Structure 1
Amino acid sequence: MEPNARRLWKLLEPIHAVGYFSPEPIALLKETGYRGYWMGYFAARSAPLGAVPAEVVHAVFYNFAFSHVSRALPDAWTFAPPEAAHDARRSGAVAALRRHLGDLADSEDLARAASLASRAALGAPMEGRALYAALRSLPAADDPLTLLWDAATLLREHRGDGHVATLLAAGIGGRESHVFHAVATGASPSVYATSRNIHETEWDSLVSGLRSRGLVTDDGGSLTDAGRETKAGIESTTDALAATAYAVLEPDEIDELITLLRPLTKAVVASGEIPGQSPMGLNLDELER
């Protein structure tokens, strides 16, 4: 069975991801003044850090090209401040969740899930986790639906900060991490051309670098034994670091949270608005269990 930290990531990630993909937050970020999807994305996700320069966001996010980040920042802050970006994404995400969840949005089960997830999110260790800590410094929500999105976002970035540290320790660069994951899972390079601006020339160069270190096969189509060992170690350490957030919950509370999240996540995934669930290994049938 998968570790609980990974199971919870799969359940919480779609709830968090409405802030990127649903029309409500995208529209609100545009109304706030940001020019284009990517300016809104970088402004909203980095907003808890304050009006920091592109160099800081590039470092913290880890896997975007600096040229991509610097096209959005710091220019974004001339259109609207970080607080406005965060509020737009948060308000839009909550509106999207309400639309996806229907009556579930006001249910006792959601309120209980939000309470449990928030305890974990607010009790996680902050050391070495810059983006999580910045989010953690913001005021807590009062209503359960916003509390759930906040908790999902905190736990997502807590895991992400730990994942970045693990990649760095394993010698896998930010751009390399996309190629390494794609080779391991069979994902198409076209996914990353769209989502991370990795086009053919850069992709081939990144594959070559991984090949030279013995992590991918000569044809670049699969991981070597050393590559699989490295990949497994990264995932295992990421799970272990993420699990520290759930230490405040009793084992039965973790089981309860998993059970309560399943129908909520299923409703979000069923909307079809959140792309890329298959790389996470999540499907609607799994959510029945």
Structure 2
Amino acid sequence: MTTAATGPRAGRRCHNALNSLHSTHYFSPDLGREAEAIGITHPRAVNFAVRAAALGPVGPGAVAAAFYNYKYELVARHVPAVWRTAAPEQVLAARLRAVDATLRRLLGEEAVASPEMAEAARLALRAAEACARGARPLYAAHADLPVPDAPHLAFWHAATLLREHRGDGHLMALVSAGLDGLEALVTHTATGRGMTPKWVSSTRGWSREEWDAASARLRDRGLLDASGDLTARGVALREEIEQETDRLDAAPYAHLGADGVARLTELGTAFARTASAAGAFPADLIGKA
């Protein structure tokens, strides 16, 4: 599976499908229920805990750095206090239970037990063999976790590795482009492919005034126009960032090869579409509104 060449956009498309499936648990009532069972009830605390638990009982600085676009003060309200409620090992176990319940509910027992799920797990784990730990804290932390035995959980674990590997590389590209965390959110939202301002403001901790100030900085750089849309320069910068992210994330998909990437994309897209059709994501999550 490693002989055929694969292009960067093919890797990006594959990642997008796998990331959709990975992300279902963040919006799942199963996650809230499992988190509450170990004493974590605040939605922001749940989010910080489940994604950062692989790092160990770290402080707010490490979480804010690794997550990048969350306001530090928001993170510090919940971290490290959340580790006094539940140890990272408890959080990781609760997360995996929530993922199990979520995928079974959204995809159905037949899909979870299908040969296609086992095939997707094998392909995604094969791709993840070529991920690199250097300068990638979230990927490296998750790569130290054991691979679950059940195929649907192994697939989700591999999708998580590939998502965090690309995400860590994406932060490198954002820093190189001179976009801080909030500016990255503003420009991503302006593409129409990011979270709506409503979801950003409710989850990332930034005020309206801070959003407006970031927008003003971006207008001064010629990246946003007066209506808040990307200028031609802004569109070009966002595409340069994605291309650099593709470059930094090329190894897993080159390792898997074009045929493997095409098949993994096909399988991941089918599972992600089934999950979305089952109500995995809020209807107002993505867009400019």
What's the TM-score once normalised by structure 1's chain length? Answer: 0.91
Corresponding residue number in structure 2 for 1:285 = none
Contact 1:42/1:69, CA 8 A, preserved across alignment: yes
Correspondent of 1:70 among 72, 76, 101 = 76
Comparing 122-131 with 267-276, greater Cα deviation is found at 267-276
Give the counterpart letter for 1:41 in structure 2: N
The CA deviation at 1:276 is 6.9
The CA deviation at 1:137 is 0.7
What are the superposed Cα offsets for residues 156-175 of structure 1, whole Å, 9 maximum, x if unpaired? 11111011010001000011
Correspondent of 1:241 among 232, 239, 248 = 248
Correspondent of 1:37 among 31, 38, 43 = 43
Supply the RMSD in Å over aligned alpha carbons: 1.9
The correspondence of residues 1-289 of structure 1 with structure 2, limited to 5 A, is: 3-102=9-108, 103-185=110-192, 188-217=196-225, 219-275=226-282, 279=286
Contact 2:120/2:155, CA 8 A, preserved across alignment: yes
- Give the whole-Å Cα distance in 1 for the aligned partners of 2:73 and 2:154: 34
Distance 1:34 1:191, change over 3 A: closer
Give the counterpart letter for 1:18 in structure 2: T
Contact 1:14/1:274, CA 8 A, preserved across alignment: no
Contact 1:104/1:110, CA 8 A, preserved across alignment: yes
- Give the whole-Å Cα distance in 1 for the aligned partners of 2:210 and 2:39: 32
Comparing 42-51 with 235-244, greater Cα deviation is found at 235-244
Give the counterpart letter for 2:112 in structure 1: A
Distance 1:241 1:127, change over 3 A: same
Distance 1:241 1:84, change over 3 A: same
Give the counterpart letter for 1:262 in structure 2: T
- Give the whole-Å Cα distance in 2 for the aligned partners of 1:122 and 1:95: 27
Give the counterpart letter for 2:111 in structure 1: L
Contact 1:207/1:220, CA 8 A, preserved across alignment: no
Give the counterpart letter for 1:149 in structure 2: W
Q: Structure 1 unaligned segments of length 5 or more: list them.
A: 281-289
Give the counterpart letter for 2:208 in structure 1: E
- Give the whole-Å Cα distance in 1 for the aligned partners of 2:197 and 2:257: 41
Distance 1:26 1:122, change over 3 A: farther
Distance 1:186 1:96, change over 3 A: closer
- Give the whole-Å Cα distance in 1 for the aligned partners of 2:60 and 2:138: 14
Comparing 54-63 with 251-260, greater Cα deviation is found at 251-260
Contact 1:183/1:220, CA 8 A, preserved across alignment: no
Q: Runs ≥4 in structure 1, deviation > 6 angstroms? A: none
Distance 1:30 1:197, change over 3 A: same
Seq. identity, %: 37
Pairs aligned (count): 279
Contact 1:28/1:88, CA 8 A, preserved across alignment: yes
The CA deviation at 1:106 is 0.3
Corresponding residue number in structure 2 for 1:287 = none
Q: Structure 2 unaligned segments of length 5 or more: list them.
A: 1-6
Contact 2:121/2:158, CA 8 A, preserved across alignment: yes
Comparing 125-134 with 177-186, greater Cα deviation is found at 177-186
- Give the whole-Å Cα distance in 1 for the aligned partners of 2:234 and 2:201: 23
Distance 1:234 1:22, change over 3 A: same
Which structure has more relative contact order (CA 8 Å, sep 6+)? It is 2
Comparing 182-191 with 241-250, greater Cα deviation is found at 182-191
- Give the whole-Å Cα distance in 1 for the aligned partners of 2:178 and 2:114: 45
Give the counterpart letter for 1:216 in structure 2: L
The CA deviation at 1:227 is 1.5
Aligned-partner SS, 1:185: coil
